Amino acid sequence: GAVVSQHPSWVICKSGTSVKIECRSLDFQATTMFWYRQFPKQSLMLMATSNEGSKATYEQGVEKDKFLINHASLTLSTLTVTSAHPEDSSFYICSAEGRNQETQYFGPGTRLLVL
């Protein structure tokens, strides 16, 4: 089956620093990658969608200058949380979809704690 990895699995950082999270599709080419945010005991909230080689499409209410997304290749997308603050602490999950696929395959998630 399709495998998606994320790195790191967890990160603790100081307020004001930036954090980069990587999402990789290991055994297929991901033409589209999605970034979600999940708070405890809540559903997944789509933050943005990125297609390889083009700018990401952000959902309403998501600051594109704060959450920088790069989808430079068909197997890698990165999410950078800039100038992180405690309210950015959350579980960030990526998913990937291949060409002509209907199914999104999810990564294991990255837990971010901003002190």
Q: Which is nearer to other proteins, 44 or 82 (CB)?
A: 44
Q: Which is nearer to other proteins, 66 or 111 (CB)?
A: 111
Count of Cβ atoms closer than 10 Å to residue 50 Cβ? 25
- Identify which range of 11-19, 71-79, 81-89, 105-113 contacts other proteins by CB under 8 A: 105-113
Whole-angstrom Cα distance, residue 18 to residue 69? Answer: 13
Handedness of CA 56, 20, 36, 39 (dihedral sign): negative
Query: Site residues for other proteins, window 11-70 (CB under 8 A)?
Result: 31-32, 34, 41-44, 46, 49, 51
